Amino acid sequence: MRKIVIPIICVFLLLSIFVLEIFTKKTDNKNLEKLKVAEVTHSIFYTPMYIADALGYFEEEGLDVEIILTSGANNVAAAVMSKDVQIGFCGSEQTLYIYNEGAKDYLVNFAGMTKRDGSFLVSRKPIENFDIKKLEGVILGGRQGGMPAMTLNYTLHENGVTSLKVDTSVDFASLSGAFISGQGDFVTLFEPNALNLEKEGFGYVVASIGELGGEVPYTSFNALKSYIEENPKTIEKFTRAIQKGLDYTFEHSPQELSKLLVNYFPDITLNDIEETVERYKKSDSWYKTTYITETGYNHMQEIVDYNGFLTKRVDYSILVDNTYNHEK
């Protein structure tokens, strides 16, 4: 009888500990400040943010962050403006558009992450000894007025390319499908989409648009001016968590990072995730810190201006708040 009682007691104790842990976690979650973040696309390009989430850096700062896919920078901006989410993560050009439209409570960039275009150029045919100046045909570049298409136009201009026509009739989220269906000779895609096309035999990655186009605060975090003023501690905590994500990304190998990212990209193999992370590392895709430089911000305005979408220049101090960012 004694032999039977002891195992039962052990099982009871284990169940009690398990229930207590669940209860404690639920209690802890209730104490966290809930925060919704609208991301412009779901891509390995945004590795530092997912790393911050995977390693619990947001929770360490007292935040319960929900990342919501909101395709298109214009839609991200609309979600923040309508207060459906507190933070937007998209191209910094959207803050220019909102401000120049006359909004009194406009969007302000408070933290940077990616410092160049995250697109890779995919060709229908393999290209040896790649030279962008020798390319001819039609390239699918994304929505007109969006950062991918504008950066591409600017890059082609800077490299003196006149034999490529940029097709902006296809929105960013539909680029892969349009290319697979036969539209265009080239397409620009974020990872893992570029690698997927390669693996499926629909194209060949021949260059990084980011490496060709130079540095710019390509994707940054923004919030309503009023929200930043009313919730400085929240912005500080969120920014600190993102900085931790950046630090970890720089300090660890693609192999180590891929193991943390696999839950965010369940349809992609671990090896493919590792390969795409390595591509972004080689392309020097991320800022070392969340600090948004005035040089980078002004370069973004140059790109928007070249594409004909800049109504007027807006001073750096108006649309960038580096209160919680530090240069290294």
Query: When comparing pLDDT for 148 and 42, which is higher?
Result: 42
**pTM attached to this predicted model:** 0.85
Residue partners of 83: CB distance under 8 A and separation at least 6? 224
**What burial class does residue 124 get, using C-beta atoms within 10 Å of its C-beta: 0-12 exposed, 13-18 middle, 19+ buried?**
middle
Q: Using CA atoms, how far apart are residues 251 and 191, in angstroms rounded to an integer?
A: 21
pLDDT > 90: percent of the chain:
80
Cβ-contact 110, 321 below 8 angstroms: yes
- Highest mean pLDDT out of 3-7, 79-83, 297-301: 79-83
H helical segments located in the chain: 2-31, 47-54, 57-60, 73-81, 93-100, 147-158, 175-180, 193-199, 209-213, 225-230, 232-251, 254-261, 270-282, 294-306, 316-319
Each residue of 152-211: pLDDT tens digit? 999 999 989 989 999 999 988 899 999 999 999 999 999 989 999 999 999 999 999 988
The helix (run of H) or strand (run of E) holding residue 310 is none
Per the DSSP assignment, residues forming a β-bridge with 165 are 138
Q: Which two tokens stand for residue 4?
A: 């039977």
Tell me if residue 226 falls in helix, strand or coil: helix
Q: pLDDT value at position 148?
A: 87
Each residue of 107-125: pLDDT tens digit? 999 999 999 999 999 999 9
Q: pLDDT value at position 28?
A: 54
How does the average pLDDT of the chain come out, rounded? 90
Categorize the per-residue pLDDT at 262 as very low, low, confident or very high, splitting at 50, 70 and 90. Answer: very high
